[in-house]
Chain A
């Protein structure tokens, strides 16, 4: 046993007594970019939730006199839109619908597609064939066309566009989840866990989910920006959010006609979409590297 003891001495002392998630939290806090992005996303979400209490102008009240006022106008810091409504108020109120429509379908698709993909990847065989070939059918259509088709068939409205966007995002998430899971399934620690007598659900819960979740999660967050833009497209076609509701995508579309009159103003909703999706993407990257214990 002497050889064993000398081997032990060379090892650095481990950080004992810490769980996996507290380690993830500690790594996140040490990452400034991720923390800034988290702050921006939280700010957007909080301002959207508490918009009525921020003392903003009425986002629905227009003024024929003050149409397309430039940025920096007194009383309308970010100017006014083509109907004279306060842009700052509309951008903040717009965050409510935009974030809701942008995040909800992805969250739903993450759970549904993730479950389908993990089941298909773990079970293999005919279960895999049935799930993956069904998913392949949806890949035959471009995502925009599919969203428009489903939304059009269901009729206009926010709920219907949520449903159609969820359906659009389930197949790609399922495919990613299936690919990652079947890779993990082939590893020997899954065999070892099965050999220990654990049932399938326990093996999936303890050994599969932790190892497939981060790539699926990162992929799903990268879809939120696409989802916001698709939702805006649906609104533009009159099958999503309807005017005069403030929504960034819809605002971008309606201000499009004013781009030669006041280009900076027209770009504002786009800037909001850009900042939001950028921060979400960087945040998901940060979370992924914090969840990866090997780095």
Chain B
């Protein structure tokens, strides 16, 4: 492979290729629920509770899970739109809050939102929207940069620069949002359901554009979606969340062939099968996820898990490699030989 190009004015790499671009440790975010006459704190929603993961340089980490599992909250914490309660966010070796300011973090990490229309100011032209970030970051020639990026994402600047967001289609708007995120020359782009609102043909175009951009500019992605096929297509590794916790992390081909956590299994088996000879045999998950205001004790999945035993109610399973040194991590007592679960270490039968 030839030397990787980067976007102009990208902040220089600090830790070398082995240093993960982003390390998240024990990230916690609780939302207070206020009520009563005096507006006192009545309860807390445990939106993100002890999430830890790493994102390597140049990879795409897919994050999947049901709605309300804390995917978007995690994304917003990562770019500082929400303030974390606890935990560490370490970007290229520098921890947010100590050696890294929020402003510098936002220089390196950008986000593309789901709603392509709501995420563009209706009163700014497309060119002005894209140039805004580069301008406030004090980068050189924000307008020229915006026009180059428009060209790169497939929108001819001479036709689109002076248009308003309502004058272009949904797919084009999402291209604008991608260009807007890239205008600040980030190294990590958080894509929060960025293609979910597009129809399938446009979705494929935008996904291909994202892959091309990643290769061309040496970008790293965190790709949040509820669509497993899309995540499989674009990701190198997949992280599964349930009720504010990470239940499994694995390289995409490993998790596709064998899911370690019972929740991941149900999630994958809920995907319609394309092959009539290979129908889904796993019974679907019953009911809604429990209320994150008062999540279940121990393993949060035990209320819906077919393998639940008393140990699952009593103790929180740790996120551990399946075998020593494995890249496949799961938080389940079934895979922990010392957990006391009667089926620990045995083959999970459907």
A residues bordering B, Cβ < 8 Å? 1, 3-4, 7-8, 11, 13-18, 20, 187-189, 191-199, 202, 206-207, 210-211, 293-294
With beta carbons under 8 angstroms apart, the residue of B107, B122, B133, B159 that contacts A13 is B159
A191 to B80, CA, bound (A): 10
With beta carbons under 8 angstroms apart, the residue of B111, B125, B160 that contacts A195 is B111
- Determine the chain B residues whose CB is within 8 A of the CB of A202 once the complex forms: 136
A15 to B205, CA, bound (A): 27
With beta carbons under 8 angstroms apart, the residue of A7, A11, A206, A293 that contacts B122 is A293
- Determine the chain A residues whose CB is within 8 A of the CB of B205 once the complex forms: 3-4
Q: Identify the interface centre among A4, A8, A198, A210: most chain B CB within 10 Å of its CB.
A: A4
- Say yes or no for B115: interface residue by CB 8 A criterion: yes
B106-A16 in contact (CB<8A): no
- Determine the chain B residues whose CB is within 8 A of the CB of A7 once the complex forms: 154, 169, 171-172
- Determine the chain A residues whose CB is within 8 A of the CB of B235 once the complex forms: none
B154-A293 in contact (CB<8A): no
B132-A193 in contact (CB<8A): yes
A16 to B159, CA, bound (A): 7
B119-A197 in contact (CB<8A): no
A191 to B81, CA, bound (A): 7
B79-A195 in contact (CB<8A): yes
Q: Size range of the interface on B?
A: 35 or more
B residues bordering A, Cβ < 8 Å? 76, 79-81, 102-103, 106-107, 110-111, 113-115, 118-125, 129, 132-133, 136-137, 154-156, 158-164, 166-169, 171-172, 177, 180, 184, 205
With beta carbons under 8 angstroms apart, the residue of A11, A16, A197, A199 that contacts B107 is A197
- Smallest Cβ-Cβ distance to A16: which chain B residue: B162
- Determine the chain B residues whose CB is within 8 A of the CB of A191 once the complex forms: 76, 81, 111, 113, 119
B133-A8 in contact (CB<8A): no
A7 to B174, CA, bound (A): 14
A189 to B133, CA, bound (A): 12
A289 CB, nearest partner CB in chain B, Å = 14
A181 CB, nearest partner CB in chain B, Å = 14
A194 to B161, CA, bound (A): 22
A293-B164 in contact (CB<8A): yes
- Determine the chain A residues whose CB is within 8 A of the CB of B121 once the complex forms: 189, 193, 206-207, 210-211
- Smallest Cβ-Cβ distance to B103: which chain A residue: A197
- Determine the chain B residues whose CB is within 8 A of the CB of A293 once the complex forms: 122-123, 164, 166
- Determine the chain A residues whose CB is within 8 A of the CB of B110 once the complex forms: 195-196
- Determine the chain A residues whose CB is within 8 A of the CB of B164 once the complex forms: 293-294
- Determine the chain B residues whose CB is within 8 A of the CB of A13 once the complex forms: 159
A243 to B111, CA, bound (A): 65
- Smallest Cβ-Cβ distance to A213: which chain B residue: B123
- Determine the chain A residues whose CB is within 8 A of the CB of B122 once the complex forms: 211, 293-294
A188-B106 in contact (CB<8A): no
A197-B113 in contact (CB<8A): no
A20 to B121, CA, bound (A): 13
B159-A8 in contact (CB<8A): yes
B137-A15 in contact (CB<8A): no
Q: Identify the interface centre among A198, A210, A211: most chain B CB within 10 Å of its CB.
A: A198
B78 CB, nearest partner CB in chain A, Å = 10
A191 to B111, CA, bound (A): 10
A1-B154 in contact (CB<8A): yes
Q: Identify the interface centre among A11, A192, A202, A206: most chain B CB within 10 Å of its CB.
A: A192
A197-B111 in contact (CB<8A): no
A118 to B80, CA, bound (A): 23
